């Protein structure tokens, strides 16, 4: 190794020294901050640029982790894209949806849910759950029948269904979802049943626009004929 390679690079040393000076540069504490620490009986330590940067980084990381946990396990905001749930839900409305109730319990017939479809990846759809495992579902004469009983149409149903399907008995881990705008909805009548793990959230409230804030109700009532 040559003598030149053994020598320390003065420019590199200067840069390192400059960084250390910046990192350890003391920050002035206000009298209010000092008094607050004294009242709490805490040791008054001089803040530095480095310690302040670390504090901000930890705060941001903590906030991001908490946000991810909330989104994964507690709730999430979804937007309506389309008219498959008209007039129960309108295009571009924002929905407050809970997740924890489906992590600790089971969805119920009549719930409005956020779900996925087979072969559609993580694309989210909003529909009404009308059939559970073991149920027999059928659409005839423009009306839904579950287990042989006619089910009342959604209170704010859009168009009537322009299709029919014969009785189908849902297997274990099969769920049937329909849009409330039944004449204009891509749902289980066309894509088939979905599995339990595809039901990811329970739609609770419309939160935007503010003029349309309202609760989203469970609707599943047998018609007495």
Read off the pLDDT of residues 95-104 as tens digits, 9 standing for 90 and up: 999 999 998 9
* pLDDT for 57: 78
Q: What is the mean pLDDT of residues 78-94?
A: 97
Q: Tell me the sheet residues that pair with 143.
A: 140
Q: What is the mean pLDDT of residues 57-85?
A: 77
Residue 205 and residue 98 share a domain: yes
Does 48 map to a domain? Answer: yes
Note whether 69 and 108 are same-domain residues: no
H or E stretch covering 143: strand 143-146
d(CA 128, CA 109): 8
Q: Is 17 exposed, middle or buried (0-12, 13-18, 19+ CB in 10 A)?
A: exposed
Residue that wins the pLDDT comparison between 86 and 72: 86
Which residue among 26, 48, 73 closes a domain?
73
Residue bearing the bigger pLDDT, 174 or 72: 174
| Number of domains comprising the chain | 2
Q: Which of 73, 100, 121 is the last residue of a domain?
A: 73
Whether residue 92 sits in one domain with residue 26:
no
Whether residues 192 and 151 share a domain: the answer is: yes
Residue 106: pLDDT over 70: yes
Residues 44 and 86 in one domain: no
Nearest residue to 115 (alpha-carbon basis) of 100, 128, 105, 125: 125
- Bridge pairing between strands 214-215 and 75-79: unpaired
> How do residues 133-166 score in pLDDT, each as one tens digit?
999 999 999 999 999 999 999 999 999 999 999 9
As a whole-number percent, the residues of the chain with pLDDT over 70 amount to: 74
Q: What is the mean pLDDT of the chain?
A: 86
| Enclosing H/E stretch for 37 | helix 31-39
Catalytic residues: 84, 127
Rounded Cα gap, residues 213 and 207, in angstroms: 5
Q: 207: domain CATH number?
A: 2.10.109.10
Residue 223 domain-assigned?
no
Residue 84 lies in a domain: yes
pLDDT at 3 > cutoff 60: no
Q: Has residue 194 been placed in a domain?
A: yes
Same domain, 139 and 187: yes
Note down the domain range covering 39: 12-73
């Amino acid at each position: 190794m040559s003598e030149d390679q053994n020598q320390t690079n003065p420019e590199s040393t200067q840069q390192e020294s400059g960084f250390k000076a910046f990192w350890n540069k003391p920050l002035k504490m206000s009298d209010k901050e000092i008094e607050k620490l004294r009242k709490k009986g805490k040791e008054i330590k001089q803040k530095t640029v480095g310690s302040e940067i670390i504090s901000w980084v930890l705060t941001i990381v903590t906030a991001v982790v908490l946000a991810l946990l909330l989104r994964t396990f507690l709730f999430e905001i979804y937007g309506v894209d389309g008219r498959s749930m008209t007039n129960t839900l309108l295009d571009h409305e924002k929905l407050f949806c809970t997740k924890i109730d489906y992590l600790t319990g089971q969805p119920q017939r009549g719930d409005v849910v956020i779900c996925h479809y087979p072969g559609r990846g993580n694309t989210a759809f909003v529909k009404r759950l009308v059939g559970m495992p073991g149920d027999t579902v059928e659409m005839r004469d423009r009306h839904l029948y579950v287990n042989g009983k006619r089910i009342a149409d959604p209170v704010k149903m859009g168009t009537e269904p322009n299709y029919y399907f014969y009785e189908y008995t849902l297997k274990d881990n099969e769920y049937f979802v329909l849009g409330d705008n039944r004449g204009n909805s891509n749902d289980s009548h066309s894509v088939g049943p979905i599995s339990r793990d595809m039901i990811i959230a329970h739609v609770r409230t419309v939160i935007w626009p503010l003029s349309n804030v309202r609760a989203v109700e469970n609707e599943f009532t047998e018609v007495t004929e």
